[in-house]
Structure 1
Amino acid sequence: MSNTTEASGPLTQEQVDALRSGCHSLIEGIDTSYGYVPTLGAGIAFCALFGLSLLGHFVQFIRKRQWTSFAFAVGALTEVIGWAGRTWSSECPYNNNAFLMQITTLIIAPTFITAGLYVILGALINRLGRESSVLGPRMYAIVFLTCDIIALIIQAVGGAMASTESDKINGDTKPGTNIMVAGIVFQMAAMVVFTVLVIDFLRRVFVKKSYLQTRKKGLSDGNTLPKAYTWLLAAVFVSLTMIFIRSIYRTVELLQGWSGYLITHEGYFIGLDGAIMVVAIAVFNFFDPVYLLWGQDDKLASSFEQNELRGMGDVSMEGWDDATIVTD
Structure 2
Amino acid sequence: MASDSYVLYDYTPNLPCAILLAVLFALTTIFHLYQRIKGHSKYFNSFIVGGIFQIIGYGARAGSHFYVQSTILYAIQSLLILLAPTLYAASIYMVLGRIITFLHGEHLSYIPVKWMTKIFVAGDVLSFILQAAGGGIMTSGSEKTIKIGQWVIVAGLCVQLMFFGAFVLTSLIFHIKIIRQPTIKSEGSMDQHGSIWPRDWRGLLFACYIASVLILIRSVYRLIEFVQGNDGYVISHEIFLYVFDAAMMFSVMVVMNVLHPSFVLKNGIDTSAAQSDKDIQCKSDVEMQQNSTLSQD
CA distance 1:299–1:98, change in 2 (3 Å): same
Structure 2 match to 1:258 = 230
Residue number in structure 2 paired with 1:290: 262
Asked if the contact 1:75–1:112 (Cα under 8 Å) also holds between the matched residues in 2, the reply is: yes
Separation in 2, partners of 1:221, 1:185: 40
Change (3 A) 1:68 1:282: farther
Aligned to 1:24: none
What aligned pairs does 1:183-262 form with structure 2 within 5 A after superposition? Answer: 183-206=156-179, 208-212=180-184, 218-219=188-189, 228-262=200-234
Aligned pairs (5 A) from 1:17-166: 17=1, 20=2, 32-129=7-104, 130-164=106-140, 166=141
More helix by share: 2
Output the CA distance in 2 between the equivalents of 1:250 and 1:156: 14
Shift of 1:221: 8.2
C-alpha spacing 1:158/1:72, structure 2 compared with 1 (3 Å): closer
| One-letter amino acid of the structure 1 residue matched with residue 212 of structure 2 | L
- Report the counterpart of residue 301 of structure 1 in structure 2: 274
CA distance in 1, matches of 2:123, 2:255: 24
Residue among 243, 252, 260 paired with 1:280: 252
Unmatched 5+ stretches in structure 1: 1-16, 22-28, 306-328
Secondary structure at 1:72 match in 2 = helix
Shift of 1:69: 3.6
Identity of aligned residues (%): 27
Rounded Cα–Cα distance in structure 2 between residues aligned with 1:297 and 1:232: 13
Paired with 1:30 and 1:36, the residues of 2 have a C-alpha distance of 16
How big is the shift at 1:32? 4.2
d(CA) in 2 for partners of 1:186 and 1:69? 22
- Aligned counterpart, 2:294: none
Task: Tell me how far apart the structure 1 counterparts of residues 186 and 243 of structure 2 sit (CA, whole Å).
Answer: 43
Question: Gaps spanning 5+ residues in structure 2: where?
Answer: 279-297
Q: 1:155 to 1:69 in 2, by over 3 A?
A: closer
1:70 partner amino acid = N
**Number of residue equivalences:** 273
The Cα of 1:209 is off from its aligned counterpart by 3.2
Cα RMSD of the aligned pairs, angstroms, is: 2.6
Q: Deviations over 1:127-153 (max 9, x none)?
A: 212123222333222001111111222
